[in-house]
Structure 1
Amino acid sequence: MQIETIGIIAGGGQFPFLVAQGAHRRGLKVVAVGFSDHTDMELAKETDDFIELHIGQLNKLIRFFKRHGVSRIVLAGAINKPRALHFKPDLRAMKLLFKLRSKGDDAILTTVAKELESEGLQVASALTIVPDIGTPAGVITRGKPNAQEWADLRYGWPKAKAIGSMDIGQSLVVKNGMVVAVEGPEGTDATLRRSGELAGPGCVLVKVYKPGQDNRMDLPAAGLQTVQTMIETGASCLGIEAGNSLFFDAEEAIALADKHGIHIVGLTAEEMEQE
């Protein structure tokens, strides 16, 4: 019986490592593409084959995966957006970009996914390989949000959804019923730091799945690093949409949050849309 081969399109951080390790635990082969200035090249040690490319080398990426007989591709890990603005696309990638009205994350990723699938390369959610990193619903810390934090979560939910629907970002920060920071290309940690400078301690981070987003790619994520940044900036509560989001280093992150009195909630539409 032939062993299935999984392909990883790897950005930065630990996410690609978790996918590679999870796939190997399932008895699958793993090959991966990493990108200069974005991917931790130590990932090569976790794979059966690895290639380093520049962002935009779409033809080489497709040829690599097809040569290895890849059946499913997982997109895992962050791409530094400011650095990615300086990429040099090959002719195939350039043609795709010319077709796009919007250059937002979701538009680009959806177009790339369609191009991969036109070559018989199925794009799959990372949660099919490592389901244990999904965010559960409900309060996941010992302490529960206070009345103001619940109010800020509910206040921020529809606004975060609206920003997501415009493919701007996945998160915003609220304090006492006021939006104090909106995520842009700088990412969640930088948004938290900006909110701390503007509004001081007691901010609430709301992070959601974009309406209409392809749930195989660019899922909202939080974890230990997020909690560490919240401690640095004095943020008191994190709400991240349950089901269609990722939570890394859950045990350590929750323990650290409990130690510092930070509350974490897996948000659901039913809970957030209650009057």
Structure 2
Amino acid sequence: MKVGLLAGKGELPLEFLKSARNKCIETVTFALEGIANSEIEKYSNKIIWIKPFKLGKFLKVLKKEEISEIAILGKVEHKSAISLNGFDLKALTFLASLRDRKPETIIKGIISEIEKVGVKVIDPTEYLFHLLPEPGVIYGKLTDELRKEAEFGMKVAKEIASLDIGQTVVVKDKTVIAVEGIEGTNRCIERGAELAGRGFVVCKAARKNQDMRVDVPTVGSETVELIGKLKGKALIFEAKKTFLLNREKVIEIAQNYGITVVAV
């Protein structure tokens, strides 16, 4: 069996490739130059580096490789769809055909383009199920006060996620301090910390009908480290629909900073 991977930024592509190797599945990785982690070369049976936003070239190469399935993992900045720097004619034509440039619209459009060349975009959770925590406390204590704050924050996070605005909100004292937009999770947290001061809570949620093939919420040690440095109190995220990377490192950092981490 052979499976493809379109790899963006971050550790998820690496985790996917490691899991595929453990299952003795051959992989062909299409890695985005300047974005994907070069370490993926160690774990992929075959790697093809492609320039970002060259959709036409990617589809031609994909078809040539004769694979039947592909996973899409890793981050690509959404603001790139606004600047259009480096886009080829196929990518520009593709964007012009969309009703809007919301992340979900772009992603589903890309899936459609891939499937037009006969390749199925798969749900990667079959390979990454171990990274989707069940409900429960990862570290710390979920006090009654924090539970109420989490309920408030997660309700807002789910609303903005369903509107395809972002996945993250920063709250404090049942007040929305910052909402993630095109700037991304880290900048949202930084902005929230600047406005709220110490003791803020970060909440991250999936869309109501989250397509697990793409753009699944992800948190990890980098997220917790940032919250700790900015003197936040907790990270709350949606269980079973959020990838948790580096769980042991997350617990270590949370312990160092006294941060509560909970999947709800």
2:114 aligned counterpart, secondary structure: helix
Query: Identity over the aligned pairs, expressed in percent?
Result: 30
Residue number among 97, 112, 115 corresponding to 1:114 in the alignment: 112
Gap runs ≥5 in structure 1: 268-275
Residue number among 154, 163, 172 corresponding to 1:175 in the alignment: 172
Gap runs ≥5 in structure 2: none
**2:122 maps to what in 1?**
124
Q: Which has the larger displacement, 198-207 or 253-262? A: 253-262
CA contact (8 A) 1:123 1:216 kept: yes
Q: Which has the larger displacement, 17-26 or 209-218? A: 209-218
Provide the C-alpha distance between the structure 1 equivalents of 2:201 and 2:232, rounded to a whole number of angstroms. Answer: 6
Residue number among 19, 26, 31 corresponding to 2:28 in the alignment: 31
Provide the C-alpha distance between the structure 2 equivalents of 1:37 and 1:80, rounded to a whole number of angstroms. Answer: 12
2:48 aligned counterpart, secondary structure: strand
**Residues paired across the two proteins, number:** 263
CA contact (8 A) 1:134 1:245 kept: yes
**2:78 maps to what in 1?**
81
Q: Output aligned runs, 1:137-148, within 5 Å.
A: 137-141=135-139, 143-148=140-145
Q: Output aligned runs, 1:44-63, within 5 Å.
A: 44-63=41-60
Q: CA deviation at 1:145?
A: 2.1
Q: Output aligned runs, 1:1-275, within 5 Å.
A: 4-83=1-80, 85-141=83-139, 143-267=140-264
* Alignment RMSD (CA, Å): 1.7
Q: CA deviation at 1:27?
A: 0.7
Q: CA deviation at 1:40?
A: 2.0
Q: CA deviation at 1:83?
A: 4.7
1:27 aligned counterpart, secondary structure: coil
**1:272 maps to what in 2?**
none
Alpha-carbon displacement from aligned partner over 1:29-52 (angstroms, at most 9, x marks no partner): 111122233222332232122222
Q: Taking structure 2 as the reference length, what is the TM-score of the superposition? A: 0.93
Alpha-carbon displacement from aligned partner over 1:77-120 (angstroms, at most 9, x marks no partner): 11133455333333333332122112011110011112212222
Distance 1:50 1:87, change over 3 A: farther
